[in-house]
Each structure stands twice: as C-alpha cells, then as structure tokens.
Structure 1
Amino acid sequence: MGDLLHLELSKREKEIKKVLIITFFLNLIVALIKILAGIEFNFISLRSSGIESIFDGTSNLLGIVTIALASKPRDRRHNYGHHKFENVGALIIAFMLFGSAIKLGLDYHDLILGTQTKYGQFGLVPVLSILISMAMSFGVSTYEGRKGRELNSQILTADSNHTFGDMIISFGVLISIIAAYFKIYIIDYIVGGLIILYLIYLGIQITLENLNDLLDVAPILKDKYISSLEDIKYVRDIHNFRARGNSTWMQIDFHLLLEPDLSLSQAHDIAHTVEDRLRLMLKDYCRDIDILIHMEPDDEGHKD
C-alpha cells in the first residue's frame, strides 16, 4: 500500500512538473511579446504587463523547486513528510503578486505625476501583441487550473490564478491602447489602478487559502462521516476527533470507544474496520491520509 501510494505521488510530481515547464515557456513568450511591443510603441502599461508576465515565468520555476521538495518522502526530521512546502511555494507566489502590484504602482505613479513625457503610439502591432498574449494567458490559466484540480495541487491552482491575473492586466492594457488612439491617456491611469487592486486581491486570496493549511486549520469534514463510523458493530462512540491538512495530505486522530469485553485482537480488527471505512469515505477528497486511533473500553474506569 505504501509503495503504491509513493508511486502515485511520484507520478503526481512528474505531472505537476510537466505542467509547470510547459507554462514556463509559454509565459516567457507572452512576456517577450509585450515587452518588445511596449518598448517599440512606448506603452508603459504594455511594458509593465510584460514584466508581470516575467513574474509568471519565475513562479513556474519556483513551483518546480517547490514540488520537488514537497514530494520528498518522510524522514527522521520530517515525520509527516514535506507537504507544506507546496503551501510555502504558493505563499511566495502571493508575495510575487504583491511585488508585481508595487512595480506597476510605481510605474503608474510616474505617469500620474507627469514624469512620463512620452505617450503610447496606437498601432496594429501593440493591439495584436496584447490580443495574442491575452489568448495565451487564458489558455495557460485554464490548463493550469484544470490540472491543479485534477492533481489536487495548490501550487498549480495559485499559479493559475496568477496567470489569470495576467490576462486581466492584458485586457486593461488593451483598453489603454485603444484609448491612446483617441488620445484619452487618463484611461491608462484608471486601468492601472484597477489592475493593481486586482493583483492585491489575488495575492490576499492565495495567502488566506494557504495560511489555513500552514496553521493547521481543520478541514471541513461532514458529521455524517463520524456517524457512519459509530454505526459499526461494537463501536460505542467516537470523540476527540481532530483533523488537519488538505486534499493533498491529511492527518486524522480520534478516540474510539469500544465495548469493554472485547479482546485486544478483536478491538484491533474493529479499529482497522473503522480506519478502512474512513479512508473509503475520503478517497475522493484525499489519497494520502495518516490516521491514528486511540482505542478505549466503554467502562467506568477508562480515561481519555
């Protein structure tokens, strides 16, 4: 069972790395298109968007390193494995989003103060470049999001949100480019502010989602699961039920109150039955589950 699970986790790691490598190169292409067009036609929003796309590529590399660390097996110093490295990687992506927002904010700050004397030149090239980058960003975000759900990967889900944010930025840049045709440069300021706020929102969202795992916030497990376990023959009660983790890895422990006249062997078999049923109920949510059961006799002298 352990070897099979390790094989599945290793396959999962390879799949996640494959997705990150593909999206890394796609993000670099998007960044190059936007930066070159932005420099040539003097659109600061387009250049800034290209810089943000570079952050996307950097986050892909970070994801590859993070997954390699998170997939390492348990060892003497990390008895519960290295799963939380994935959460740490997602948090770093969140901070990179905040960094992107700060960078864009500084660029637009220069515009608002009037230190940027040259305005963008409307043309077919910047329009096509931003449309191509939007299409690629949407494709990358959709692909990563789907794979993130399939593989239960926080790092892919976080990076998908990051890339979707890049598409939103590109849409704002497109509006700015079109507005430049009509010499309405204030649109650049408005769009820039909205982009910055959206990036901050994404960063906060990713941070909150992954802090829950790092702080061992209990996953929501339906009460019917416990009720179903208590229906097993000879089980009197289940209490002190605790759980932590997410769809990648979970640790559960609880006290199992059994009829007092059972032999140790019988109690052990019943505990295994309880554990197997719990794993079966959670198999679609999490495959790597560590369950610890404390057995107790249901008599007056027992202590928790």
Structure 2
Amino acid sequence: MKYCLRSLASFQGSAKSQYNKTEQRSETSGSKTWRLYLTSVVQDNYSQVRQVLLITLFLNLFVVGLKATVGIMTGSLSLQADAIHSITDSANNILGLIANSLSSPKPNRYHPYGRQKYEGVATLGIVAFLGIACFEILQGTIQRIYYGGQEVRVSGAQIWILLIVLGVNIFVAFYERRVGKRLNSPILVADAYHTMSDIWVTIMVLGGLIGIWQAKQLNLPQLQWLDAILAFPVAFLVFISGWQVLRSNVPWLVDVMVIAPEAIHEIVMGVPGVLNCHDIASRGLLGRQVFIEMHLVVNSPDVESSHYITEIVEERLEERFSPVRVVIHIEPPDYQSSKISFGTEIS
C-alpha cells in the first residue's frame, strides 16, 4: 500500500512510448529521393495511473486510520509503528500524483530526452519515506525496551479489524502490481512491492497481538514483550523495501548500460552494407525508453545510400528493443575499429 504515488511517478506506469517508421517517396528532377522519417506515437496512460493512485491513496488512508486508532486504543507499539509504516504509503501516493503531472516521455525544447526521470526522482522520495519509517520504528522499540511503557490490551473486535486491514493490503498489492505491469509502470510495480512488505509487517504485528490477547486469557503477562520484539523485524522489512526500490531505480537514473553492446553489435552487423560498428552506448529502461548511440562504417558510395542503411539499422534495433531512439554517426572505411564499446573490443 506504500504510496502508489510513487507508482504514478513511474513513467513506466504512467506512460508508454513506441515509435513507428514511415517511408515517403518523392520525385525531384527525374531522380528518386527517399525520405525516411521517424514519427513518434506516444500513448500516455496518465489518467489510468492517476486513477490507480487515487484509489490506493483512499485505501491507504483508510488503513492508516484503522491501524492508528487500534494502536492507540491497545497501546501496541508495533501496531503504531506499522501505522507509521503505512503513512508512508499515503505520502508516496501523493508524491506519485505530483510526479505524474511532471513526468512525460514526450521530448520538448527544454527536455529533448523527455521528462521520465522525474519518476525516478519520485521513487527516491519513497526511499526517504521508508528510511524515516524505519528509524521511527527502531527508536520507539528501543525506548519501550529500556524505559517500559503501558500494557498492551487487545480485544477480539480489534483483532477482526486488523484482519480487515490485512485484506485491504493484499488487495492493493495485487491490484497495483497487475495494473503496473500492464501499463509498464516501474513506480506502480515498486509501490506494489512496498505494499507487499506492509502485508508481512501486518501479519507479524497481528500474530503478536493475537499472542498477547491469548496470553491475557492464560494469565501470562510476560508475553507483553512480544509487541516490542516484533517491532524489530518490522523495521528490517521496511529497510528491505527501501533497498529494493533504490536498487531498481538508481541504475536508470545514473545511465547505467541497459543493453550489452555485444547484442547491439550482432544485430547491426547483420544488416547488409554495414562494415563496422563501434563505440556503442545505451541507456534508459527496456520496455520504457531506450537511447542507443554508435559509430557506423558502411559500404556505400553516397550519402543517400548510407542514410538508407542507417534506417534499416534503426528498424532492426526498434524491432528488438522498442521503444528506442537511435543516433548513428557515419564514418569512412579508414575509421573502422575493434572497440565495440568503451573498454570492450571485438574478440
């Protein structure tokens, strides 16, 4: 349930780009001129992502309200910590909604590569929220262990309320994950993983409270420590959630290689007329938007023929890695190189 907003921010979740090639022929002074141009057909799924975020935001707030209320009524530290954990969900949802209005795959004058990375920035905000939640949980647990606190009092009705909360968490996690994959939205998928961690947290807290509830019936006051003890794994799961989100988004934000240069080299060298391909670079996110650059040596007597070959290269790469934008630098035969990419040579 962790703020599907972060999902919103996700361009994967909110927007999808695909490119189609259109070929135009024209006759000029008796000679044929081939004009190939790339038209971009961008299908924005902002409204769908926004709808998902709003739904999950409402459900997250509902869950937070129930957890906080029951946590205060029972005096359960682990449940109050779980409520704080869930508060980050709502904050992430709001963050995602804001990012959704800023993130777009469409290039413009000031963002020639699009504004998809706003999504990644939003996911970093999610990580920050998770870090805060983790700190609050640990701080509260240590204080309870060293300084003690009020006795945890749980009733059967409160246990049933927490079971309802658990059901809502499960629904949100699977709903976000399914829609996130359908819309190809990394932020929605990331938020779904966050929500999954919330499910395990709630299960542990619920188990501890059931134990305390039964202990009261059996006159076993020492089981009151279950509440504080279970707060530690809650903090650990919060940390794991943040790490997973961070690990999946940082490579994309810092432009880590997204496609092995050898794979690109193999495809390009299969195009008739290509003599050599080197200095290959790629960045972006597969299935979302990939940018490829390369130097190309072709067997062509004129610019027109060279251009035609590069268009075929782009088509082949698009078929394999769409959506993709390719920049090709044509070089003369003397510029052939065995260096496929930076620090990588042809074996």
TM-score (ref. length: structure 1): 0.90
Alignment correspondent of 2:169: 137
Given candidates 142, 155, 172, the residue that maps to 1:123 is: 155
Please state how far the C-alpha of 1:4 moved relative to its aligned partner: 5.7
Please state how far the C-alpha of 1:257 moved relative to its aligned partner: 1.4
Alignment correspondent of 1:290: 325
Alignment correspondent of 1:274: 313
Alignment correspondent of 1:74: 107
The Cα offsets for residues 133-171 of structure 1, whole Å up to 9 and x where unpaired, read as: 111111111111222222222211221122112111111
- 1:156 counterpart letter in structure 2: L
Q: 2: CA distance between counterparts of 1:301 and 1:104?
A: 60
- 1:157 counterpart letter in structure 2: V
Q: In terms of mean alpha carbon deviation, does 33-42 or 62-71 score higher?
A: 33-42
Alignment correspondent of 1:200: 239
Q: 1:160 to 1:128 in 2, by over 3 A?
A: same
Are 1:249 and 2:289 matched, yes or no?
Answer: yes
In the TM superposition, structure 1's runs of 4+ consecutive aligned residues that sit over 6 Å from their partners are: 301-304
CA contact (8 A) 2:78 2:228 kept: no
- 2:82 counterpart letter in structure 1: S
Alignment correspondent of 2:206: 174
Q: 2: CA distance between counterparts of 1:162 and 1:224?
A: 33
CA contact (8 A) 1:53 1:166 kept: yes
- Name stretches of at least 5 consecutive residues in structure 2 with no aligned partner: 1-19, 21-37, 216-220, 340-347
Q: Report how many aligned residue pairs link the two structures.
A: 294
Q: Secondary structure at the match of 1:244?
A: strand
- Work out which structure has the larger RCO, using CA pairs closer than 8 Å and 6 or more positions apart in sequence: 2
CA contact (8 A) 1:126 1:177 kept: no
Given candidates 233, 237, 258, the residue that maps to 2:298 is: 258
Please state how far the C-alpha of 1:209 moved relative to its aligned partner: 1.7
Please state how far the C-alpha of 1:97 moved relative to its aligned partner: 0.7
Please state how far the C-alpha of 1:216 moved relative to its aligned partner: 0.6
Q: 2: CA distance between counterparts of 1:301 and 1:40?
A: 76
Q: 1: CA distance between counterparts of 2:242 and 2:40?
A: 36
Alignment correspondent of 1:152: 184
- 1:135 counterpart letter in structure 2: G
Q: In terms of mean alpha carbon deviation, does 213-222 or 188-197 score higher?
A: 213-222
Given candidates 66, 71, 88, the residue that maps to 1:33 is: 66
Are 1:5 and 2:41 matched, yes or no?
Answer: yes
Q: 2: CA distance between counterparts of 1:97 and 1:65?
A: 18
CA contact (8 A) 2:259 2:283 kept: no
- 2:163 counterpart letter in structure 1: L
TM-align CA RMSD: 2.0
Q: In terms of mean alpha carbon deviation, does 102-111 or 58-67 score higher?
A: 102-111
Q: 1: CA distance between counterparts of 2:64 and 2:58?
A: 10
Alignment correspondent of 1:99: 132
Please state how far the C-alpha of 1:94 moved relative to its aligned partner: 0.9
Q: 2: CA distance between counterparts of 1:301 and 1:199?
A: 53
Query: Which is greater in Rg?
Result: 2
Larger % of helix: which? 1
Q: 1: CA distance between counterparts of 2:304 and 2:103?
A: 37
- Name stretches of at least 5 consecutive residues in structure 1 with no aligned partner: none
Q: 1:257 to 1:4 in 2, by over 3 A?
A: closer
Alignment correspondent of 1:52: 85
